[in-house]
Chain A
Amino acid sequence: MTGNKVISVRNLVKKFGSFTANDNLTFDVYEGEIFGFLGANGAGKTTALRILSGLSAPTSGEVMVAGYDTTKEAEMIKRNIGYMCQKFSLYEDLTVRENIMLYGGIYGMSRQLIREQEQKLLYRLDFGAFRNRVISDLPLGLRQKLAFSVALLHQPKIIFLDEPTGGVDPITRRQFWEMIYETAAAGITIFVTTHYMDEAEYCDRVSIMNEGRIVAIDTPENLKKHYNAASVEEVFIRIARPLKETV
């Protein structure tokens, strides 16, 4: 894969006391790529994601995101990334419009720019009618799509999605991935963690973590070829289970 590196991780180590959550991670993510970050629960995904998004500092190693060093320039990174987590990230007691105003506001956007982006967003989602409705009135699928769009409001270079499709129906999941494709086509890098292995197939490249290490990183096709498997799910089951259990 050619193109500019937007995330560059070298020898990242994160320790909590004697426990090593991230053990010497090294990988790159390129501009406009959909990068799937897979791993069983407790494999160290969330820890790595928190470091990449500037929420926590690495014990050692070098992490560059959007051209900035996470330890020294966390502030600049925060301006250039979007984030959507598995729990719902909009305020349920506020209206669609108020949520948009809030996010625009905390990212320092001008009123004019917020209004422009709001109109584009409502048009794209066909959301005009919901503008003044409080979020708790909206069905879950709509909320999730809105949360994704709001996370893109400040036009970040990279967006981190932490299990974005947890608990939504297959149709919404499909629509959600269409939005992800559109976003990537516009040059925004997508960094996504997921539990759904069929979603891993949609990614340009995936990495699989196990016990704090990256054990595989490649395109879904290459991984399937290499492990002689029919699906990413099979690859995952083969390499991501704890080493002790492997015969």
Chain B
Amino acid sequence: MKRFVAFVRKEFLHIFRDIRTLIIIFGIPVAQILIFGFVVRTDIKNAGVAIMDLSQDDVSRKLADKIISSGFFLNSGYLSSYNEIETEFRKGDTRAVIVFGENFGRNLIREGKAVMNIIADGSDPNAATLITNYTMAIVRDFNIEIAGSAFSGSGVIVPEVKMFYNPNLESHFMFVPGVITLILILICALMTSVTISREKEFGTMEVLLVSPLRPVQIILGKVTPYFLLSFINVILILLMSWIVFDLPVKGSLLLLLAETMLYILMSLSLGILISTISDTMQQAIFISFLGLMLPTIILSGFIFPLENMHQVYNLVSMIVPPRYFIIIIKNIMIKGTGLMFVWKETLAILLMTVLFISISIHKFRLRLE
């Protein structure tokens, strides 16, 4: 045990002495959370909004003016029929269309209620949410302003929100689960494979193998610091998403942390596996990036929804471990569901972990032959 401690101490020294390693471990997650969180959120100013006024009465015109002149939006055009909405969104300048149906003003007075529609481009869920929230606030103001006036009588304008492209706003706040998934596989698999292949490349691995340290102690000693640091990292990311973006964990925190540990173990065993098939750091980096980063970004559902993907890609994504973890973490964090709903994905990650460890042990034995 004392030997093991001396060895782990050395690993920590390696990490804390190398500024690049520290940046990868702590800088990237913080930067990613901030970029995905803030930059996307504050992009709302001057969002293009088109008006479709089929009623053309005093109330609809006045409300449209108020929305356009609120300072948040730019008028990006006027539409005259529902058929034009899709074309308008495709042009790219318009993020939302405000629709006043026929007889809007008359309904308001005669029936005491008039419905207007806010149709937002759901492909950018963050922006869509903000635009609809702002618009609804403006309509609320307008309701108060005109209450009891000749315009409305005792009527109230009711805004209804519809999402174009992405009706359930599926990927809303996806960035936190996505960043956790990406960061963990980056730190655990990439860093582990690099640090082990570094010992091989520099010849220090031979020295360690000749020492009384057992191979399993060497491997465990190599991964222990990364296990601890990634765990701290996850807690850091969760705290940030809670404090800065007001996104708490809805489900059981304990379950989330347990699942995270399992995922970290899977990533570490993947890192060990990569190190057994690469002799130099360069190889390890290459395999990690090509074999892990790209599939994680593209095929895990982090950025591109899997539902919309071609069947072949969808099949390929089945063997990408982050795919399962993203489902788990989304369920627990955002929907607040329990183990009942994610046991299949958990099992998949567990099986992968066992598989990677078995292959690594087999490869390691061959090497010692």
Known contacts A55-B209, A55-B368, A57-B369: A108-B3 contact under CB 8 Å: yes
Known contacts A89-B207, A91-B14, A98-B13: A106-B202 contact under CB 8 Å: no
Question: Could you list which residues of chain A lie within 8 angstroms of chain B, going by C-beta atoms?
Answer: 16, 53-57, 75, 78-79, 81, 83-94, 98, 101-108, 134, 160
Do residues A106 and B3 form an inter-chain contact, with CB atoms below 8 A? yes
Do residues B10 and A102 form an inter-chain contact, with CB atoms below 8 A? yes
Do residues B203 and A108 form an inter-chain contact, with CB atoms below 8 A? no
B210: interface (CB < 8 Å):
yes
B191, chain A: closest CB distance, angstroms:
15
Do residues A101 and B6 form an inter-chain contact, with CB atoms below 8 A? yes
Known contacts A55-B368, A78-B211, A83-B207: A102-B7 contact under CB 8 Å: yes
Cα(A90)–Cα(B204), bound, Å: 7
Do residues A106 and B211 form an inter-chain contact, with CB atoms below 8 A? yes
Q: Which of B175-231 contact A (CB under 8 A)?
A: 202-204, 206-213
B212, chain A: closest CB distance, angstroms:
5
Do residues B369 and A108 form an inter-chain contact, with CB atoms below 8 A? no
Cα(A78)–Cα(B13), bound, Å: 25
CB contacts (< 8 Å) of A108 on chain B: these are: 2-3, 212
Closest to A95 in B: B13
Cα(A101)–Cα(B6), bound, Å: 8
Question: Could you list which residues of chain B lie within 8 angstroms of chain A, going by C-beta atoms?
Answer: 2-3, 5-7, 9-10, 13-14, 17-18, 202-204, 206-213, 368-369
CB contacts (< 8 Å) of B206 on chain A: these are: 55, 83, 85, 87, 89
A159, chain B: closest CB distance, angstroms:
11
Do residues B210 and A93 form an inter-chain contact, with CB atoms below 8 A? no
A53, chain B: closest CB distance, angstroms:
5
Cα(A134)–Cα(B18), bound, Å: 13
Known contacts A57-B369, A98-B10, A106-B6: A83-B210 contact under CB 8 Å: yes
Do residues B368 and A106 form an inter-chain contact, with CB atoms below 8 A? no
CB contacts (< 8 Å) of A16 on chain B: these are: 369
Cα(A55)–Cα(B210), bound, Å: 6
Residue of A86, A87, A93, A106 touching B7 (CB-CB under 8 A)? A106
CB contacts (< 8 Å) of A84 on chain B: these are: 207
Do residues B368 and A94 form an inter-chain contact, with CB atoms below 8 A? no
Cα(A69)–Cα(B212), bound, Å: 15
Closest to B3 in A: A106
B3, chain A: closest CB distance, angstroms:
5
Do residues B10 and A78 form an inter-chain contact, with CB atoms below 8 A? no
Closest to B208 in A: A106
Cα(A85)–Cα(B200), bound, Å: 12
Residue of A55, A78, A85 touching B212 (CB-CB under 8 A)? A78
A81, chain B: closest CB distance, angstroms:
7
A157, chain B: closest CB distance, angstroms:
14
Do residues A78 and B17 form an inter-chain contact, with CB atoms below 8 A? no
A193, chain B: closest CB distance, angstroms:
13
Cα(A108)–Cα(B14), bound, Å: 21
CB contacts (< 8 Å) of B14 on chain A: these are: 91, 93-94
Residue of B7, B202, B210 touching A88 (CB-CB under 8 A)? B202
Do residues B6 and A54 form an inter-chain contact, with CB atoms below 8 A? no
CB contacts (< 8 Å) of A94 on chain B: these are: 10, 13-14, 17
Q: Identify 7 residue pairs between A and B in the complex whose beta-carbon atoms are under 8 Å apart, listed by A's number.
A: A79-B212, A88-B203, A93-B13, A93-B14, A101-B9, A102-B10, A107-B3
Cα(A54)–Cα(B208), bound, Å: 12
Cα(A160)–Cα(B210), bound, Å: 10
Do residues A105 and B212 form an inter-chain contact, with CB atoms below 8 A? no
Do residues A89 and B5 form an inter-chain contact, with CB atoms below 8 A? no
Known contacts A57-B369, A87-B202, A94-B17: A105-B207 contact under CB 8 Å: no
Cα(A21)–Cα(B9), bound, Å: 38
CB contacts (< 8 Å) of A106 on chain B: these are: 3, 6-7, 208, 211-213
B214, chain A: closest CB distance, angstroms:
8
Known contacts A55-B206, A91-B14: A107-B211 contact under CB 8 Å: yes
Do residues A89 and B7 form an inter-chain contact, with CB atoms below 8 A? no
Closest to A160 in B: B210
Closest to A114 in B: B6
Do residues B212 and A81 form an inter-chain contact, with CB atoms below 8 A? no
CB contacts (< 8 Å) of A55 on chain B: these are: 206, 209-210, 368
Closest to B369 in A: A56
Closest to A108 in B: B3
Do residues A104 and B13 form an inter-chain contact, with CB atoms below 8 A? no
Closest to B203 in A: A87
Closest to B212 in A: A78
B264, chain A: closest CB distance, angstroms:
25
Closest to A110 in B: B2
Cα(A226)–Cα(B257), bound, Å: 74
B363, chain A: closest CB distance, angstroms:
15
CB contacts (< 8 Å) of B209 on chain A: these are: 55
Residue of B17, B211, B213 touching A93 (CB-CB under 8 A)? B17
CB contacts (< 8 Å) of A91 on chain B: these are: 10, 14, 204
CB contacts (< 8 Å) of A79 on chain B: these are: 212
Residue of B17, B204, B369 touching A89 (CB-CB under 8 A)? B204
CB contacts (< 8 Å) of A134 on chain B: these are: 17
